[in-house]
Chains A and B, each alone.
Chain A
Amino acid sequence: MNALRAFDRALTTVVNAFLMLSFAIMLGLAALQVFLRFFFHSGLLWGDVAARNLVIWVGFFGAYLATRENKHFRVDVLTRLVAPRIRSWLFAGTDLFAAVISYFLFQASLNFVRLGIDPDSVAFLQVPQTVIAMIVPIGFALILIQFLIRTAENVVAAIRRAPNEGDA
């Protein structure tokens, strides 16, 4: 369990760094575009496209963190009512379900990058579209890993009869 937690922390640190970086570039680009338009009546041709693509990057990193902190939107009428131990089992089961779905979405997005995008198409500047779109399989893989970790954590919590921290 300790090795798993260390892995979780390391992975989250990396994702955090990427989140900050992609957000900073996104905000910088968006602000720069407005500045250029207002004062010079111009703008970077690729700026808007790049910023919009970065929203997807930011979104997937955020979704990874949302998984880790149990912040995905869910119906909580039932989980709020039951005893902590049963709640842990329910969370373990539903997190495992979400992991399975994430796996299928991961596979679908790999196929999307391989088959759905023209390998020669360029997103902006010299960056190929396939590189930009890799965030979708990477994102679902990250979410999948995190759901598996959460499942393990919740099973352990259920067996130990203690409610997992952070599951309000």
Chain B
Amino acid sequence: MEMIIVGILLLLIGLAGAPMFSIIGAIGLLAFNAAGTDTSALIIELYRLVDFPALIAIPLFTFAGYLLAESQAPRRLIRLAQTMFGWMPGGLAVVALFTTAIFTAFSGASGVTIIALGGLIYPALLKENYPERFSLGLMTTSGSLGLLFPPSLPIILYSIVSKVNIDQLFLAGLVPGILLLVILSIYSVRTAVKSRVPRHPFVWKNVLVALREAGWEAPLPVIVIGGIYGGIITATEAAAVTAFYVLVVEVFIRRDLKFFSDMPRVLRESMILVGAILVMLGAAMGVTSYLIDEQIPMKLFAIISQYVSSKLVFLVILNLFILVMNMVEIFSAIIIVVPIIVPVAMGYGVDPIHLGVIFLLNLEIGYMTPPLGLNLFLSSLRFEKQLTSVYRAVLPFFLLLLAVLLLITYFPALSLLLTKPAGLQ
């Protein structure tokens, strides 16, 4: 009884806008007190974060992403891609899909793509005669596209929380991520052909000029994504290389950003995000260990398995649950929900890596799910459109992504094709 009252109280305080980390911390303090454990054990759990090799990837990749977003690099990369692929039917739309996916992967998937690249790509799409509704839908989708590719922040966070090897998780996201891009590209080509979008001739000279401009940044996705997939560097090493490389290129070679005025600001802004995530993650470590000690996930599995016996039905219900959770706030969703559902899903025989891909794709879709998905608001703000017209524009993309989600859920092989059989570290 007492517990229920305290629970409702915390829920109300949370709804009133208290920081999530304080709510999670309160739960941890109360749980350890009730179990008769000294609360310093809560901090022992928090300090275990030091033992996660992937942890350092969070500040390093976030810093690199913020630097890139503030520089002129996205502009140069889009120009290069356009000169290379503009000759294809639907060329610009396909270029937009791939470049925004890479940009989102690097910038931590916080919807910043829509703000940073929207002003660049959206008018270009309209100028090339793409339908307005299609262009709006594409831009809204782009805010979270690429979340399955390294080095996106949600993947790193998922791997830390679920204790799944990060390199394996990166590998698992490759095929589903590409499948997603291919299906959206086919849709884009079809739209372009139907609306008679003009095609541009391929000119070698333009490619060379654009290549010279973007020569410093163009190899970066290849090094990072290729290096990780090729097993040449680990994710944490890639983080160090990327942060260092981007810093040198954008500040000292390209000089888009000034060392004394821009650098401290970008560093501060990116570390504010990192700090907010880490303190929430730290507070949740104690709660998670308490839940495991009390065998809460196992008890939950025992209850659920009475009603749901099929693995597939469980996964479909899980999908719906995660979609709703993600509308609240995605980083909190990962930190709070993942430790509970991973053991439950393993009870059903779901591979934790496969579950990771399902979970992350759900996040991606959650961003653009009406009525509360973050991308919808950003898009409506950025392009000065009514929310309802954004809802309509995003619908075909939403349905395509949902179809891919079903495929990924139903065929674990799509995610596990490239990974080693043993999922746990």
Contacts and interface: CB of A to CB of B under 8 A. Distances in A.
The answer to whether A and B interact is: yes
Contacts of A104: 25, 29, 39
Given A34-B237, A75-B15, A116 B21 contact: no
A149 interface: no
Interface string A8-39: 00000000100110010011001101100100
Best-buried of B19, B26, B49 by chain A (most CB within 10 Å): B19
A55 B275 contact: no
Contact of A98 (B18, B40, B59, B237): B18
Tell me the dominant secondary structure on chain B's binding face: helix
A47 to B, nearest CB: 11
A75 B328 contact: yes
Interface string B263-300: 01001100111111111101100000000000000000
B215 to A, nearest CB: 22
7 contacts: A23-B271, A34-B233, A66-B272, A66-B275, A66-B276, A102-B22, A105-B29
Contacts of B58: 55
Nearest to A62: B275
A138 interface: no
Contacts, number: 194
B14 A75 contact: yes
Given A90-B17, A115-B40, A63 B275 contact: yes
B275 A60 contact: yes
B312 interface: no
A74 B247 CA distance: 31
B52 to A, nearest CB: 8
B407 to A, nearest CB: 31
Interface in A104-135: 104-105, 107-109, 111-112, 115-116, 133
Tell me the dominant secondary structure on chain A's binding face: helix
Contact of A55 (B56, B272, B331): B56
A27 B274 contact: no
Contacts of A19: 267-268, 271
Interface of B: 13-22, 25-26, 29, 38-44, 46-47, 49-53, 55-56, 58-60, 63, 233, 236-237, 239-241, 243-244, 247, 264, 267-268, 271-280, 282-283, 328-329, 331-332
B60 A30 contact: yes
Contacts of A62: 271-276, 278
Contacts of B329: 73, 75
A72 B14 CA distance: 12
A74 B43 contact: no
A55 B59 contact: yes
Best-buried of A67, A90, A112 by chain B (most CB within 10 Å): A112
A105 B243 contact: no
Contacts of B268: 16, 19, 65
A97 B271 contact: no
Contacts of A5: none
Interface string A91-109: 1011001100110110111
Contacts of A94: 13, 16-19, 22
